[in-house]
């Protein structure tokens, strides 16, 4: 009986070892789930979703890495948040992006200046369509036939007479665009650019940085 008991025990032990080995082998072959470090779920434009367009910046704040598809929506959201008369918002969001791409500068620059100069076109000289404080001085006010015409000329001249001459931050642009400012002009433009970067009004106020107007510039192909 003892021999029979040991024989059955040996068989059961052998089978157990074999099954364990097979199970371990299949587990090894199964695809492993990679767990990414840092936040993987963020909020963009009011929608909670997994979003590959996020990255943590040097300040440890999660920022939106703008893509060609997202940029116009970010600007449109900025216009709507501040109740701009520039409507439809989606149309003008795309106008600002198209001009920035054409002249190879950051898509946030023009709407940020418009916010500083006219509260996004709410306060402008009557009939001027001049939202950017462009050509407004003691000798008179430069007028345009439309908002689009104002933005197009401003984009072209900002590129030619500011950015191409090495003025690539709001602080540097201010020294020529509005040299009488005590620094508040650049502070405001930076705030609005930062707000659009993070799609967050509070972060726009909290984060103090002089943005590069080339940061999200799209080079022509």
Each of the 221 residues of the chain gets a pLDDT tens digit; together they read 545 544 555 555 554 555 555 444 444 444 333 333 322 223 333 332 323 343 445 455 555 544 556 999 999 999 999 999 999 999 999 999 999 999 999 999 999 999 999 999 999 988 999 999 877 655 557 789 999 999 999 999 999 999 999 999 999 999 999 999 999 999 999 999 999 999 999 999 999 999 999 999 987 76
Do 90 and 45 touch, CB atoms closer than 8 A? no
Rounded to a whole number of angstroms, the distance between the first and last alpha carbons of the chain is 86
Instruction: Residue 13: count other Cβ atoms within 10 Å of its Cβ.
Output: 10
pLDDT at 10: 52
Q: Please give the pLDDT value at position 218.
A: 84
Cβ 99 vs Cβ 112: under 8 Å: no
Give pTM, 2 decimals: 0.71
Q: What are phi and psi of 63, to 5 degrees?
A: -120, 160
Task: Give residue 157's pLDDT.
Answer: 94
- State the pLDDT at residue 81: 97
What was the pLDDT predicted at 138?
56
Contact status, residue 207 vs residue 61, Cβ threshold 8 Å: yes
Separation of alpha carbons 143 and 125, rounded Å = 9
Q: What are phi and psi of 109, to 5 degrees?
A: -65, -55
The confidence score (pLDDT) of residue 47 equals 31
d(CA 136, CA 128): 10
Which residues are CB-neighbours of 126 under 8 A, at least 6 positions away?
A: none
- Which runs of consecutive H residues, i.e. helices, occur in the chain? 2-29, 68-81, 89-103, 109-118, 147-161, 170-177, 184-198, 201-206
* Phi and psi at residue 64, to the nearest 5°: -85, 125
């Amino acid at each position: 009986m003892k021999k029979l008991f040991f024989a059955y025990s040996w068989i059961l032990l052998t089978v157990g070892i074999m099954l364990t080995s097979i199970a371990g082998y299949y587990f090894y072959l199964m695809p492993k789930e990679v767990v990414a470090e840092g936040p993987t779920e963020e909020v963009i434009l009011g929608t909670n979703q997994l979003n590959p367009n996020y990255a943590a910046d040097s300040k440890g704040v999660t920022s939106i890495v703008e893509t060609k598809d997202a940029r116009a929506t970010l600007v449109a959201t900025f216009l709507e948040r501040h109740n701009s008369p520039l409507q439809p918002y989606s149309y003008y969001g795309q106008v600002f992006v198209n001009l920035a791409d054409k002249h190879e500068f950051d898509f946030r620059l023009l709407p940020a200046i418009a916010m500083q100069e006219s509260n996004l076109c709410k306060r402008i000289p009557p009939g001027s369509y001049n939202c950017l404080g462009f050509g407004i001085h003691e000798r008179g006010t430069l007028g345009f036939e439309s908002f689009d015409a104002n933005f197009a000329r401003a984009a072209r001249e900002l590129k030619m007479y500011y950015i191409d001459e090495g003025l690539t931050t709001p602080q540097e642009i201010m020294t020529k665009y509005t040299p009488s400012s005590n620094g508040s002009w650049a502070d405001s433009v930076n705030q609005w650019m930062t707000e659009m970067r993070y799609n967050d009004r509070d972060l726009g106020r909290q984060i103090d940085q002089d943005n590069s107007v080339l940061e999200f510039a799209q080079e022509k192909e």
